[in-house]
Each structure stands twice: as C-alpha cells, then as structure tokens.
Structure 1
C-alpha cells in the first residue's frame, strides 16, 4: 500500500511538472508573439512617419526646383543681354550710336561683366530619413539629388575657369597700363589714348575667348540644366499628386 501511494505521488508530481512545462512554453510563446506584434506596430508607425517625412521633403525639393528654374532663367536672360553687347563689340561696321554704346561697355567685357547661377546642391543629410521608406517618390528624390550633384560638379569647374580668365585679364591690365584704377573703380573716364587698347587685337582676342567660355560654353550648360530641372519638376509633381490621392 505504501509503495502504491509512493508511485501515485510520483505520477501526480510528474503531471504537475509536465503541466508546468507546457504552461511555461505557452507563456514564452505569448511573450514572443507580443514582441513580434510590438515590432510590427513600431515598423508600421516608423513607416508612416517616414512616408510623411518623404512627402514633406518632396514639397521642399519641389520649391527648390521651382526657385532654381526661375534663377536659371533669370541668369540666362542676363547672359542673353550680355551677348548683344559682345556681338556688337565684334561687329565689323558699327553705326555712331553703336560705337558709343560699345565705348561705355567695352572696358568691362572681359573683367567683371559675368553672371553666374548660384545653384546649390541638396545636402545628403536631408534624405537620411527617406531611406526607410522605399517608394517611387523616394527614388525620384534620390535621383534629383544626384542631378544636383552633377550640376554642381559641372558648373563649378566652368565657373572657376571663367573666374581665372577674368583675374588674368585684370592682372594683365594692372601690370601693363597706368589707368587700371579707373577700370576697377568703374570711373569710366578714359582718355582717347586709353580707349585705344579696347580696340586692339589683343583685347579683341580676349573678348572672343570670353564669349566662347561664358556666352557659349557656360550658357549651354545652363540651358541643359534648365531643361533637366523642368523635366524633374514635372515628374515630381506627378508623383506628389499620386501620393496625395493615395493618402485621401
């Protein structure tokens, strides 16, 4: 009888252990499921925040592109006006009024008369939070960022070349003519003898070279980037319109 009771006690204890193990496993499973649900909710929340951030960032990029398009157009309009005086200077047979116009502008054609487009790239840190959200809008923003990097890599060296040419022309005048102060102070009251240099072959060659660099080379780059940004703005507007409808 005692042996029977001992065996019965062991069986009861064995069942308790088994039940405890099953209970513990169940608790672990519930904890894991809870963690997975929490992670999923957190990811969903973060994704929602990222989508909102991406949309807001896209609106800011849109504003920048619109501003830069206007800036490029204004710069190209100024260059177009400069081209008129360059062509007038290089014109063979000028009227008296044309000669008078050239006289007032000629001293500054290869020294200070240059308009650059201050196009700044998009900072890479601005897109840090967009990487969480993989979407067509995110891809377009990253593509536009690369476009701006390309613009910066192309325009800056050309601007440096033109600037170096301007400085070289100023240095040449400084080292060879005693009326340099009149030029840099925009006095403009040159004597007839001083004006002769602006009609010389040396100065004409400098004007031709500046026209080649600035009014042709640089302006061609601005035209290409102007068209690029217009296309990117159209694409971005389409994606913003689509995303806005999807959020309604």
Structure 2
C-alpha cells in the first residue's frame, strides 16, 4: 500500500510537471507570436510611412511643374490661336523657346521597392491597402513613363529638324531673339503644327497624367494615415 501510495504521488507529480512544461511552452509560443505580430505591424507601418513620404514628395514636385508651366501654356495657346505678333516675340524670350525643352519629374520609388521586398510578410489578401498601392504605382507609372517618352520623341524630332535646316539654330539654343526665327514662327504652318503636337503631348496628356497621379496619391495618403 505504501508502495502504491508513493507511486501514485510520483505519477501525479510527473503529470503536474508535464502540464507545467506544456503551459510554459504554450506561453512562450504565444509571446513569440505576439512579438512576431508586433514586428510585422512595425514593418508594415514603416513601409507605409515611406510610401506616404514618397507620395508627398511627388505631389510637391508635381505642384512645382504645374506652376512653372502655367505661363508657357499661355504662350502655346497664343501661337496656336495665332494671337502673337512680331513685337510680342521681341519682348518675350520664352516665346521663342517653347519647343526647346520641358520640365518632367522622377517619381520616388523607395516605398514601392520596400513593399515588393516585404511581399512575403505583407499579404495582399490580408492587407488590401498594399494591393491598392501596388496597382496605383503600376498604372500611374506606366502612364507617366509612356507619355514622357512620347514628349521626348517629339522634342528630339523638333530639335533635329531645327538643327539640320534652320540658320537660327544657334540663337535658338541660347534663347537669343532672332528675327529669322520670328518670321518662321509667324508664317510657317510647319511650326504651328509642331507647337500643336507638342502642346497636346505635354500639356494635354503628360500634365493630365501628373494631375491624376496627384489626385489618387492624396487619396492613398489619407488611407495610409488612417491605418498607420
């Protein structure tokens, strides 16, 4: 009986020890899960914060481009509408060089790259915002890249034509008033057509893509703010 009593106590003690070990393991696993979840949440917040910073920087650059191009847009429209005179060209250096170049922007992509690098932990099926951000960048960057290339091709074509055929090309590249150019600009259908083409590609397509980017970026920033 004594032997059976001692054996029973040992069994109960062993079972108690096992239970305590199991409980300890479960607690450790739970703590580990909490830590991993916290690390994941911190990673997501860090990535989204960088995405937000990139978008804010892009918007600031877009605003500068839109502000800079306002005056030049008015010159384009005056040329297209034949509402510009010889004296206007003499008084306005920029009127001569509206086809001489164009401001564009380089969009920030650090946040997007981090989002891609962490795609294994930021599951789009569980986090719809990451999927929305990826789609936004995919569509908007493609639109802007394509329109930038089209504007660049048109600009290069104009420059190559002027370089090969026009005696005033040197003054043109130095933004120097040249009466031969003014006569060409006022009388040539070719020049007006080039202005129309460039205005459409840059002001009506490229800048509209930038405006669209800005609008959608602001919506994403608000969503990020509500989640981070």
TM class, shorter-length: 0.7 to 0.9
Give the distance between the partners of 1:133 and 1:126, measured in 2 at CA.
Answer: 8
Question: Given that residues 136 and 239 in structure 1 are in contact (C-alpha distance below 8 angstroms), is that contact kept between their aligned partners in structure 2?
Answer: no
Deviation at 1:156, TM superposition (A): 0.6
Q: What are the superposed Cα offsets for residues 189-233 of structure 1, whole Å, 9 maximum, x if unpaired? A: 42x334322221111110011111111111221121111111112
1:105 equivalent in structure 2 = 94
Distance 1:79 1:155, change over 3 A: same
Give the distance between the partners of 1:119 and 1:137, measured in 2 at CA.
Answer: 28
Q: 2:225 aligns with which of 216, 237, 242?
A: 237
Distance 1:134 1:163, change over 3 A: closer
Give the distance between the partners of 2:123 and 2:181, measured in 1 at CA.
Answer: 66
- Alignment RMSD (CA, Å): 3.4
Structure 1: state its 5+ residue gaps. Answer: 1-11, 241-248
Give the distance between the partners of 2:170 and 2:13, measured in 1 at CA.
Answer: 96
Question: Given that residues 111 and 167 in structure 1 are in contact (C-alpha distance below 8 angstroms), is that contact kept between their aligned partners in structure 2?
Answer: no
Q: How many residues align?
A: 221
1:123 equivalent in structure 2 = 112
Distance 1:203 1:106, change over 3 A: farther
2:164 equivalent in structure 1 = 175
Deviation at 1:24, TM superposition (A): 9.1
Deviation at 1:57, TM superposition (A): 2.6
Question: Given that residues 151 and 202 in structure 2 are in contact (C-alpha distance below 8 angstroms), is that contact kept between their aligned partners in structure 1?
Answer: yes
Give the distance between the partners of 2:113 and 2:14, measured in 1 at CA.
Answer: 50
1:5 equivalent in structure 2 = none
Deviation at 1:47, TM superposition (A): 0.8
Question: Given that residues 47 and 133 in structure 1 are in contact (C-alpha distance below 8 angstroms), is that contact kept between their aligned partners in structure 2?
Answer: no
1:228 equivalent in structure 2 = 216
1:201 equivalent in structure 2 = 189
The structure that has the greater radius of gyration is 1
Question: Given that residues 122 and 130 in structure 2 are in contact (C-alpha distance below 8 angstroms), is that contact kept between their aligned partners in structure 1?
Answer: no
Tell me the SS of whatever aligns to 2:48. Answer: helix
1:78 equivalent in structure 2 = 68
Q: 1:165 aligns with which of 154, 159, 173?
A: 154
Tell me the SS of whatever aligns to 1:110. Answer: coil
| Structure-1-length-normalised TM-score | 0.72
Structure 2: state its 5+ residue gaps. Answer: none
Give the distance between the partners of 2:114 and 2:227, measured in 1 at CA.
Answer: 22
Distance 1:176 1:134, change over 3 A: closer
Distance 1:137 1:238, change over 3 A: farther
1:1-248 residue pairs with structure 2 within 5 A?
Answer: 35-94=25-84, 98-101=88-91, 104-112=93-101, 114-121=102-109, 122-126=111-115, 128-129=117-118, 132=121, 138-184=127-173, 186-190=174-178, 192-199=179-186, 200-240=188-228
| Structure-2-length-normalised TM-score | 0.78
Distance 1:116 1:176, change over 3 A: same
